[in-house]
Amino acid sequence: MPESAGCLAGRVVLITGSTGIAAATANKAIAEGAQVFISSRTESNCAALVEQLGAKQAGYRAADLRQDDAAAAVVEDCRTRFGRIDALFNVAGISGRRFGDGPIHECTPEGWDTTMDVNARSQFLMCRAALAVMLPQAPGSDGMRGSLLNMASVLAFSPEPTYFASHAYAASKGAILGMTKAMAAYYAPQKIRVNAIAPALVQTPMSERASGNDEIMAYMKGKQPLVEGMQDADDIADAAIFLMSSGARSITGDVMTVDAGWCVSEGNAKG
């Protein structure tokens, strides 16, 4: 297909999650010519997104991606529907605060285990299942067999102790960075790229706690000065589309920080 057809024309993209960044990326992937398969735990969200995207271009399977059989079933459904998988974007994840995440001396075992399972285990299982499809499939037009893109966070390497002391969350995202780098080194000879995106605070359903707190929002005006508040999900989706496209065919093992200035800013001082 000509480049004008879109940078993902003819490609199959599997995205975990069905709201926020996942939904924004799915919409952009469709606009760029991809076929998209969605998976998250909430079937109604999956169905609504696929209806919006168009049934001919998109499909879904609702699943708890912490379960190895569920992850494998999602990947197989995608392969059966569209014939191959060119890219996996692992978006689905949680803030573990309601389960007991927090500073280590306060973090509960349930908070730790649940956060690590949903955020890190699910990405491991999805990558494992997707690789079983990508490794034997023929390379695409850009010479690559596939692209794996994992969701990290600036909190893995740029902590904020006052408002975002969620240590299990930070640990889960740090684990994802380590896994991404190790995978990138191992699978590069097989022409499979592995990268991660590290956003800061994005306007999504998961960030409702922060968006409803006036003190945090005042702080974010200086912490994310490029947007003077919360990032838009489309900003992260744009980066994801690039990293999954042939324009990034020489990029692997990278962590793209999309943070509106978080890592280089101190935030507004508290009054």
**Please, which residues bridge with residue 231 across strands?**
202
CA–CA distance, 138 with 13 (Å, rounded to integer): 16
For the record, the structure tokens of 218 come out as 């005042």
CA–CA distance, 183 with 90 (Å, rounded to integer): 14
Q: How far apart, in Å, are the Cα atoms of 163 and each of 48, 99, 102, 268, 271?
A: 33, 17, 10, 13, 15
Contacts of 75 (CB under 8 A, 6+ apart): 14, 85, 126, 129, 130, 132, 133
Structural element, H or E, at residue 97 = none
CA–CA distance, 58 with 52 (Å, rounded to integer): 9
Q: Alpha helices of the chain — where are they, by DSSP H?
A: 20-31, 43-53, 68-82, 109-116, 122-134, 167-187, 208-211, 214-223, 233-244
User: Is residue 163 annotated as a catalytic residue, yes or no?
Assistant: no
The closest alpha carbon to 71, from 12, 11, 5, 121, belongs to 121
Q: How far apart, in Å, are the Cα atoms of 225 and each of 162, 217, 239, 255?
A: 18, 12, 19, 21
Find the catalytic residue in 60, 169, 187, 219: 169
CA–CA distance, 149 with 138 (Å, rounded to integer): 20
- The answer to whether residues 201 and 20 touch, using CB atoms and an 8 Å cutoff, is no
The residues that are catalytic are: 169
